[in-house]
């Protein structure tokens, strides 16, 4: 099923520069700004190590994406690869819905982080109370309004916010370089491991499962391809460049953080990088950095809600969920019903879950499952040759990628049970939408809808 002639199409506005900023802006943000201290609680001084391991796992999977996106230059990403590899329509749909759900949990994480930093910036005594929840809800509603205005406005806002969040991390790195030059801080801490009663391996794996939230985002660019100019040509270069830049920044920021603030102090509270600024540059206006942090996490929310609404719009246009969810506003030319639906899910998560580690961990859990499927799909699709030349990743990489992703999804990493429950509830909502549409088609005597990933977003 595709759009009728009366249904307006989405605008193509993203070139290489905007795409790179989209990728960098989506990867940077809430993860490093809000979770650095939580990772330090897991491993102590080697806080940089889980971020490095998460970067490696993400990059291995990125190479699988590179082979598949150049082999099948379509816009649908993981959904397309799952469909071509396994041919099971319901599995394709659930992978697509899992990607969408990960965007919503990521945006909800960002909303909570925004509220915490807002309270810190204005010295509001509402931390941990209903005030944080209300601030988070108000914030996600503002994001929905920006999203409704249109992708051009949203992407332009992303450019500004990406520059702001990158400047905040560069400030941290420069503070670290200054501290190293004048002899401040204790850079020997970067090799100290404090894992409590657990083994170093278990602690690093647990830290990686949390830090992986900071590396997700590159896959969102595939789902924005309908609003991107020539995606098959520009995606590979921009993906690797974006991953490399963010990985380097993460390692440098985490090293600086632990050198200036001991692990136990860094892991206390919701604003770890503010403590780094206070310790390394007492004269720097901390309030300004709090605002930078707010803008950084705002960017994470904007990009993820943008992706989630567009992906829901795409699967609705395929007829596998109620068609109402695919309606496009005739003036703004944005999928306003999908925006409202994804915003309602975010509101539920912010209200009834709330905690940043649980929401961020659920995001990583959902995407690790998707990445495992993508890595397996690369190997399965080696049996499907194509006539044109394409990138081919060494076979060992998707094998390692699938195994590492499956391990990080498993209970062996001591992931909190609440993350599995949140992911289960979200996927159950997706399955229910599929079933309602399927049942309606059966009763009406129509053909049961089947998802065609190559039409997603069209």
HSE toward the beta carbon, residue 144, CA cutoff 13 A? 20
In the block, residue with structure tokens 């790179």: 20
Is-contact 113 30, C-beta < 8 A?
yes
Name 88's Cβ contacts closer than 8 Å, sequence gap at least 6.
82
Angle at the Cα of 438 from the Cα atoms of 434 and 443, rounded to 5 degrees: 150
Alpha-carbon distance of 111 to 105, in angstroms, equals 10
Tell me the DSSP string of 270-319: S-HHHHHHHHH-TTS-HHHHHHHHHHHHHHHHHHHHHHHHHHHHHHHHTT
Alpha-carbon distance of 367 to 97, in angstroms, equals 11
Is-contact 22 220, C-beta < 8 A?
yes
The model carries a pTM of 0.85
HSE toward the beta carbon, residue 363, CA cutoff 13 A? 33
Nearest in space to 246 (alpha carbons), one of 270, 213, 294, 268: 213
Q: Is 223 left (phi over 0), alpha (psi -120 to 50) or beta?
A: alpha
Name 122's Cβ contacts closer than 8 Å, sequence gap at least 6.
none
Q: What CATH topology corresponds to 16-455?
A: Amino acid/polyamine transporter I (1.20.1740)
Alpha-carbon distance of 421 to 432, in angstroms, equals 16
User: Per-residue confidence of the chain (458 residues) as pLDDT tens digits?
Assistant: 444 444 454 455 567 777 787 778 778 777 888 889 989 999 999 999 999 999 999 999 999 988 887 787 665 678 888 988 998 888 988 998 998 999 999 999 889 888 888 887 777 776 556 888 899 999 999 999 988 876 665 566 667 777 888 899 999 999 989 888 887 888 889 999 988 788 889 899 989 998 998 888 777 666 555 555 665 677 777 888 889 999 999 999 999 999 999 999 998 877 788 889 988 888 888 788 888 888 888 878 888 898 888 888 877 776 777 878 888 888 877 888 999 999 999 999 999 886 778 888 999 999 999 999 999 999 999 998 888 778 889 999 999 999 999 999 998 888 889 999 999 999 999 999 889 888 888 887 777 666 666 555 44
Per residue in 23-66, pLDDT tens? 787 787 778 888 899 899 999 999 999 999 999 999 999 999 88
In the block, residue with structure tokens 């990933």: 453
| CB burial string 151-175: b at 16+ within 10 A, e below | beebbebbeebbebbbebbebbbeb
Nearest in space to 93 (alpha carbons), one of 420, 439, 331, 435: 435
For the record, the structure tokens of 65 come out as 């994406």
Count other Cβ atoms within 10 Å, centred on residue 437: 20
In the block, residue with structure tokens 């860094």: 266
For the record, the structure tokens of 282 come out as 């007492």
Angle at the Cα of 299 from the Cα atoms of 296 and 304, rounded to 5 degrees: 135
Percent helix / strand / coil, the chain, rounded to 5: 75, 0, 25
Is-contact 273 33, C-beta < 8 A?
yes
Q: Where are the domains of the chain?
A: 16-455
Alpha-carbon distance of 51 to 27, in angstroms, equals 12
């Amino acid at each position: 099923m595709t759009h009728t002639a009366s249904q307006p199409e989405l605008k193509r506005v993203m070139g290489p520069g905007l795409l790179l900023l989209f990728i960098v802006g989506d990867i940077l943000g809430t993860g490093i700004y809000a979770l650095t201290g939580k990772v330090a609680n897991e491993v102590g001084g080697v806080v940089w190590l889980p971020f490095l391991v998460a970067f490696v796992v993400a990059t291995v999977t990125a190479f699988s994406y590179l082979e598949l996106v150049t082999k099948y230059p379509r816009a649908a990403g993981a959904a397309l690869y799952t469909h071509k590899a396994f041919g099971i329509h319901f599995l394709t749909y659930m992978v697509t819905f899992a990607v969408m759900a990960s965007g919503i949990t990521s945006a909800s994480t960002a909303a909570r982080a925004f509220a915490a930093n807002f309270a810190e910036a204005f010295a509001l005594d509402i931390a941990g109370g209903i005030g944080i929840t209300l601030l988070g809800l108000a914030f996600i509603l503002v994001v929905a309004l920006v999203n409704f205005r249109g992708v051009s406005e949203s992407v332009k806002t992303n450019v500004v916010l990406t520059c702001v969040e990158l400047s905040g991390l560069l400030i941290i790195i420069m503070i670290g370089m200054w501290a190293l030059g004048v002899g401040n801080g204790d850079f020997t801490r970067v090799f100290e491991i404090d894992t409590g009663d657990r083994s170093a391996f278990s602690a690093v794996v647990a830290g990686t499962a949390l830090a992986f939230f900071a590396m997700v985002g590159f896959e969102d660019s595939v789902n924005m391809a309908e609003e991107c100019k020539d995606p098959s040509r520009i995606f590979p270069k921009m993906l690797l460049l974006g991953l490399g830049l963010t990985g380097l920044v993460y390692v440098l920021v985490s090293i600086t953080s632990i050198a200036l603030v001991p692990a136990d102090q860094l892991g206390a509270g919701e604003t770890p990088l503010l403590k780094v600024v206070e310790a390394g540059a007492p004269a720097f206006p901390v309030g300004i950095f709090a605002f930078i942090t707010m803008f950084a996490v705002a960017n994470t929310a904007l990009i993820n809600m943008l992706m989630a609404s567009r992906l829901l719009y795409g699967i609705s246009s395929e007829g596998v969920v109620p068609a109402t969810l695919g309606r496009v506003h005739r003036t703004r030319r944005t999928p306003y019903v999908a925006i409202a639906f994804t915003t309602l899910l975010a509101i539920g998560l912010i209200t009834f879950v709330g905690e940043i580690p649980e929401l961020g961990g659920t995001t990583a859990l959902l995407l690790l499952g998707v990445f495992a499927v993508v890595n397996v799909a690369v190997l399965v699709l080696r049996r499907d040759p194509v006539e044109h030349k394409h990138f081919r990743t060494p076979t060992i990489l998707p094998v390692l990628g699938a195994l590492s992703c499956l391990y990080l999804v498993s209970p062996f990493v001591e992931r909190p049970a609440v993350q599995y429950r949140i992911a289960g509830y979200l996927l159950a909502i997706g399955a229910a939408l599929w079933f309602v549409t399927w049942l309606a088609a059966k009763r009406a005597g129509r053909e049961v809808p089947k998802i065609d990933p190559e039409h997603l977003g069209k």
